[in-house]
Structure 1
Amino acid sequence: MTPSVKPANSVLVLPEKYYLDHFNEFITYTEVHCASLLSSPHIEFIQRFKQLQHNTQCMFVRAVNRKGSFIACSKMLSYEEIENCQQQLDALLEIRALRHVEKSDVSLLLGTLNKAQLVELLCAQNVLFKKSAPKAELLRLAKALTPSAVVQHEVCDDIKVKTFVNEWQYLLFLFFGNLKSALDKFSMRDLGVLKTRSKSKQQGPRFDDIEQAQSAFYFAQLQQQLATISEQELLVLAQNQAVQQSPVGIIANEYAAHFWYEIGCALFALDNDSAKTQALAFWRLSSHHKAQERLIRETYKLDKAQAKSTLEAILESPKDDELSLFAFDFYQRKFNQAKLSVRTQRLREHSTKLYIDEVYKDRVELGVKRYYETLSLPDEKCAMGEKNAVYQSEYTSERKEQPLKNSQELQNGQQSVEHTRVSHTQVYRTENRLFRALFGLTFWHELFNEAQRATGSEFDRTPRLIKENSLYQELEEQVEARLALFTQHHPHATTSHAMGYITQVASRHYGQPNGIFRWHSKMLEIIGVFLQHVDGQCVASHLRAMAKNYQGLKDGYPDLMVIEHQQLRFEEVKAPGDQLRANQLVSIEALQNAGFNVGVCQVEWRYNPQQPYVVVDVETTGGCKPGHRITEIGAVKVINGRVVDSWSSLINPERRVPHFITRLTGISNDMVEDAPLFCEVIDDLERFMQDCIFVAHNVNFDYGFFKLEYARLERSFSMPKLCTVREMRKYYPGSKSYSLGNLTKEYGLSLDNHHRALCDAQAAAELLIMVNEKKRHA
């Protein structure tokens, strides 16, 4: 039974013995759903707990929830809700749920002691050490002590050893499917911090039988052990033949593949030829594509013929797309003398080059998105259609399959206004979100309601068929029936019927955790636009490929979806120095095979004259602190080296304007008394600044005030920003002062009404134009 959560002063609080309720809920689930997966020690563990008195049960669960194999009894005596804590601990010792420290425990125990305990232990044995010695040195000295000396020391009197750690970890593994989760997730659920799936008949055991469960648990433990293992322990573990046993079941195979790959990497990193040989043996066992890649590379160094034979075998019977891509690439370069890798060749031969302002260095996808959107703006929003010949010939995309129209006009230096007007380009950031959401919503019923044992427990976000990559294998008929939504009307279906179904699923299940995609407000809008511009057969083809191999096609999707002249294409965006990753190339090729238009966009940082800038200046009641407010805003829009528009307004700061501010700016309380509030101009101002780079002299001051004002309205503010102080220092070095007043004097610029927002913004705009002129000729 789920424990109740009581509201207290609008704060959720848990019942006094919530941990016991959670433990009982956990045990009940285990007995109902996992009875066939329990061996005698696990059954005895549960029965031993049930036979305890109530208060002893509470102490038992408290001990269970303590991390590690050791507990300090002194820390277990402060639970006010448990009657006579010491008596309950004694009861746990009596039934051997806890025991005293033994010599065999010392090696592990020493690693759990704090510095003060290690010092106490060493002093008792008259070991010499520096007071300033780090804990690692103290631990090294302590490990040299005899186990009997450690056990007999009073430090160990307070420490007891759990006897049920392995049984407990196994039960947790059955419930959560991993070794990282614990019962604190129940508390997070009850407090509303963690959202879980509702309990249903489709929840059940993760494994078909106990052999599969124990095999998966064994390899999961081995993988976890690698994180903290010493070099000597690693070598001992590698010699253990049991770690090479064949895994049983899909989940165990996955854990084993990762373990063998990781232990191989750890061994190969040692300066030891024997260890490197062992590493190759572990990689041969692993089905992980990275293990196979490492194995082939190292085999090639030792035996080229063997490497060639292995590559040919992979290419003849491909099982993993990323491994097949690597095998083809490696084979071409090593045995067919290909000079370029598949990825490099793709970038060079099938890509578009765009020149984007360097202000987007940390947000390259946004820069490309705004580049395309700027090209399609109506004339009055884009410098009255002034796209000069230099810009059109040098800065537009060099897309071979879609050459720019009106090339003759461009050669003659004329404007290409018509091309701009009809574009109306729409650009969406999609990456993995589009196809994951489309896949999850399309097959929601099959994944969560149709499949047997759809999820293990309410805490499972990812359905079993996704984890096991077996959706199409188990539910082929149902999958094909669902794909018919995209194709049933005629060969080139409009997909409107599919969109209706997807909308219904989203409405019914919105917000439910699913482990496939994240819900967001524009998800259905993006899916709707996508389905309006594509062939239903293409959609069905790719969703079928995902159903057959979701793990191979769950990521690596292009960054942008671009709709230009009513034609849809995808673009993967690469900043200078970026390479196509293997998973990206796999997904791109899968989309192309399904019939989608996909390209790669290579970005170079260069001044783009068609990038709109909004140069802003704010006057305020004081410094950029939460207590101060804006009194005036001036904004100037610059495109292609010209001021094309301006916006300004006094703002009621809803507080007094200090006298020294009035003396500095000329803005008085009387002037702002009837001025609009920031909340009354925000929408108009936001439209004015749309798609622009935010520019100001000492930009963080003005930008900071905007963020504060937006935050007061519970809205977020985020724009790429540029500082004219920094830019002037870079492109016009040597000035004694880079204040706005000094720069305008030095370069003969107008500043008739300094410290009024629009005047200062206009002056800063002139500085920006000077900087961009330098960039244009750089």
Structure 2
Amino acid sequence: MLLFLQDMANNDKIILPEKYYLDNFKYVLNFVLDKYEPLLSDTEIAFITNFTTLSEDGQCLYVRVSNRKGQFFRKEKLIYPEITNLDEAHEELLGRNFLVSKPFLEIDECFQLINIYNKPEIIQILKPLDVEVDMKLKKDELILDLLESCDTEILQQSFYTDSIITQGAREELDMVKLFFFGHNHGDMSDFVIRDVGHAKFMEIDESKLGTSFDSREEAEAVMQLSQLNKEFYLLEDAVSPLDVYEWFKAIEIGYFLNMDKAKQRADKLLHKVGYHLEKHKYFEEALELYHFSSASPLRERRIRIYNKQKDFDKSLAQAKQILEDPNDNKEYYIAQDVINKLDKKLKTTTLRQKEGITIPVDASYQNRVEQGALVYFEEEGYQGYHSENSICRNVFGLFFWEEIFDPKYNSLHQPLQRNPSDIYGKDFYEKRKDAIAEKLQNTKSKKQLSKILETSAQLHVGISNPFVHWETSMLDTMWQFLAFAKLKQVKALLNEMAIDPKNRSTGFPDLFVWKEKEYSFFEVKSPNDHLSEKQLFWLERFQEWGVPAEIALVEWR
């Protein structure tokens, strides 16, 4: 049964309970233990169990620390009125390993430790050490200089005092949060956003919620990839590209690529590392990485390297392979352009842009080109709106609301989920194509279409949907478009977007303008702007369906 949060955005300021964060934390622990206990390790179960036996002050202090950014905190800087005795809570957590004292710090940890002090405090602590560093340096530069010129152990002894609080059980908590949120960037602040009314989420009977992971192996793979991403960010500026390459070769990337829940993250890591090598002109090494997967944009990157190497046969072969089964619109047009170039034709996007109409726009709009173009059309007697993607996304999100959020597709895993987990993957359409086709087939009139949209908007008003913009002006413009569009045009649009919501929910023309019984979309281009592959895709689809759409080439006056 679907339930909906009441709209609180316009209410008086909401005051949360004093220990709201503790209630939310306990909810997460209980949720994960109930739904994922068979997948939890013994240490994670012990973490959850032992947390419940802490004093309330101890629980509050641990949650407060775990919700803060960073690894080290100064006890004297932690002021929480609801914690009766901070010192006792601190000692309790130390004795139970929920807070720890680290005997040895890595270089990056030592940086984090010193960074919790301000610069005058750092200088004061350094005075007895007789350290030769330039005290005029900025704080970050001063710390880096210290780490290069001083023994790490001495720095740790000087800055790591008994009043330093260091969170324990980090790995256990990170896994618990991974199971709850389904990804590594989950944030407990989502509870606050919901509770103060800044966002409204779909509420679904928890018995109908799916699971983020079906096996422990999947969860560990996602966690490992998160750690590898962090390692890469540390390495890319610290070591040579060849060292990064050797680091990556030691990773069994094929293991992650063969796992459904990890593949998308593994593809992203491949792209990041490959592009890092490519930027530094290690083309063969980059190509080696790009050949591990055919995901977008790895095949596109191969083409770009082949062209730089003037290996046009391989470039053409790759382009033909893409055209047989493109991942997305951008990849398709890039492959098409490879073939056009060999035939000495201009880029597909360039050819289409040359067909646009030229409009004079006052030069004062150079930083607001779409607004300037809208002024031009208004002077020509049109009404208009800078709609960009909002019109089509609103129609899609409202029409397919039930199909997007239906829990039977196992894409809703927790109550704070803004987007179904498969919303931007290829599985979205595969799971729902029968329901999508049936709904489109059963919508036989514009009146029926409008009724579906109106009912959806009234029933779900204000609730977070990845496609719907609830601003009144955006919804009004959607209705204006629907007043002009034919049913078959709208149905074609909806079906096209559903096939690939990730890549086909953007790239729509900037402006929507109308006058009496005529209307048009316009993609606005300043003299130095170029048409993208996504934008070309929608211009071609609109032309195919008879939806008026054009390129407006701005000429400054």
* TM-score, structure 2 normalization: 0.87
Q: For 1:500-519, what aligned pairs fall within 5 Å after superposition? A: 500-519=451-470
Q: What is the Cα deviation at residue 581 of structure 1?
A: 1.4
CA distance in 2, matches of 1:56, 1:469: 45
Q: For 1:97-496, what aligned pairs fall within 5 Å after superposition? A: 97-114=98-115, 115-116=119-120, 118-119=122-123, 122-135=126-139, 136-153=141-158, 155-201=160-206, 202-229=208-235, 231-232=237-238, 238=245, 239-240=247-248, 241-242=250-251, 244-245=253-254, 246-247=256-257, 249-270=259-280, 277-285=284-292, 287=294, 289-302=296-309, 303-333=311-341, 335-338=342-345, 340-348=346-354, 350-376=355-381, 425-449=382-406, 451-486=408-443, 488=444, 494-496=445-447
Deviations 1:273-324 (A, max 9, x none): 6x55433333333555344333321232333332232222212332222111
The answer to whether the 8 Å contact 2:222/2:262 transfers is yes
Secondary structure of the 1:71 match is strand
- The worse-fitting range, judged by mean Cα deviation, of 319-328 and 425-434 is 425-434
The answer to whether the 8 Å contact 2:271/2:290 transfers is yes
Q: In the alignment, what sits opposite 2:4? A: none
Secondary structure of the 2:485 match is coil
CA shift in 2, pair 1:113/1:152, >3 Å: closer
CA distance in 2, matches of 1:443, 1:177: 24
- The worse-fitting range, judged by mean Cα deviation, of 106-115 and 514-523 is 106-115
Does the alignment pair 1:554 with 2:505? yes
CA distance in 2, matches of 1:316, 1:307: 15
CA shift in 2, pair 1:188/1:505, >3 Å: closer
Deviations 1:563-610 (A, max 9, x none): 45734432212122211112211222233344433221112123xxxx
Q: For 1:729-748, what aligned pairs fall within 5 Å after superposition? A: none
CA distance in 1, matches of 2:135, 2:473: 60
The answer to whether the 8 Å contact 2:391/2:474 transfers is yes
CA shift in 2, pair 1:365/1:80, >3 Å: closer
Deviations 1:718-772 (A, max 9, x none): xxxxxxxxxxxxxxxxxxxxxxxxxxxxxxxxxxxxxxxxxxxxxxxxxxxxxxx
Letter in 2 for 1:17: K
The answer to whether the 8 Å contact 1:434/1:527 transfers is yes
Secondary structure of the 1:552 match is helix
Secondary structure of the 1:318 match is coil
Secondary structure of the 2:290 match is helix
Secondary structure of the 1:455 match is coil
Letter in 2 for 1:242: I
Match of residue 494, structure 2, among 543, 559, 582: 543
Q: What is the Cα deviation at residue 138 of structure 1?
A: 3.8
CA shift in 2, pair 1:541/1:142, >3 Å: same
CA distance in 2, matches of 1:13, 1:597: 50
User: Where does structure 1 lack aligned partners over 5 or more consecutive residues?
Assistant: 1-8, 377-424, 489-493, 607-778
CA shift in 2, pair 1:342/1:96, >3 Å: same
Letter in 2 for 1:527: M
The answer to whether the 8 Å contact 1:101/1:159 transfers is no
Letter in 1 for 2:361: I
The answer to whether the 8 Å contact 2:522/2:550 transfers is yes
CA shift in 2, pair 1:255/1:544, >3 Å: same
CA shift in 2, pair 1:582/1:117, >3 Å: farther
Secondary structure of the 1:457 match is coil
Q: For 1:28-43, what aligned pairs fall within 5 Å after superposition? A: 28-43=30-45
The answer to whether the 8 Å contact 1:49/1:57 transfers is yes
Q: What is the Cα deviation at residue 329 of structure 1?
A: 1.0
Deviations 1:319-355 (A, max 9, x none): 222111111113322x2222x211111111x311222
Q: What is the Cα deviation at residue 465 of structure 1?
A: 3.7
Q: In the alignment, what sits opposite 1:12? A: 14
CA distance in 2, matches of 1:456, 1:535: 38
Letter in 2 for 1:25: Y
CA distance in 2, matches of 1:464, 1:132: 49
CA distance in 2, matches of 1:143, 1:111: 15
The answer to whether the 8 Å contact 1:101/1:151 transfers is no
The answer to whether the 8 Å contact 1:223/1:258 transfers is no
The answer to whether the 8 Å contact 1:216/1:253 transfers is no
Does the alignment pair 1:86 with 2:87? yes
CA shift in 2, pair 1:373/1:110, >3 Å: closer
Q: What is the Cα deviation at residue 505 of structure 1?
A: 1.1
Q: What is the Cα deviation at residue 47 of structure 1?
A: 1.8
CA shift in 2, pair 1:156/1:10, >3 Å: same
Q: For 1:717-736, what aligned pairs fall within 5 Å after superposition? A: none
Secondary structure of the 1:113 match is helix
Q: What is the Cα deviation at residue 483 of structure 1?
A: 0.8
Letter in 2 for 1:313: Q
CA distance in 1, matches of 2:222, 2:194: 27
CA shift in 2, pair 1:129/1:426, >3 Å: closer
Higher RCO by CA contacts (8 Å cutoff, separation 6 or greater): 2
The answer to whether the 8 Å contact 1:196/1:461 transfers is yes
Q: Please give the root-mean-square deviation of Cα atoms over the aligned residues, in Å.
A: 2.9
Q: What is the Cα deviation at residue 11 of structure 1?
A: 4.3
Q: What is the Cα deviation at residue 156 of structure 1?
A: 4.1
CA shift in 2, pair 1:212/1:587, >3 Å: farther
The answer to whether the 8 Å contact 1:430/1:560 transfers is yes
Percent of matched pairs sharing the same residue: 27
CA distance in 1, matches of 2:523, 2:418: 29
The answer to whether the 8 Å contact 1:203/1:457 transfers is yes
Match of residue 47, structure 1, among 49, 54, 66: 49
Secondary structure of the 2:409 match is coil
User: Where does structure 2 lack aligned partners over 5 or more consecutive residues?
Assistant: 1-10
- The worse-fitting range, judged by mean Cα deviation, of 191-200 and 230-239 is 230-239
* TM-score, structure 1 normalization: 0.64
CA shift in 2, pair 1:590/1:62, >3 Å: same
CA shift in 2, pair 1:68/1:279, >3 Å: farther
The answer to whether the 8 Å contact 1:117/1:155 transfers is no
Q: In the alignment, what sits opposite 1:569? A: 520
The answer to whether the 8 Å contact 1:178/1:220 transfers is no
Q: What is the total number of aligned residue pairs between the two structures?
A: 537
CA shift in 2, pair 1:142/1:365, >3 Å: closer
Letter in 2 for 1:549: D
- The worse-fitting range, judged by mean Cα deviation, of 194-203 and 20-29 is 194-203
CA shift in 2, pair 1:514/1:200, >3 Å: farther
The answer to whether the 8 Å contact 1:121/1:142 transfers is no
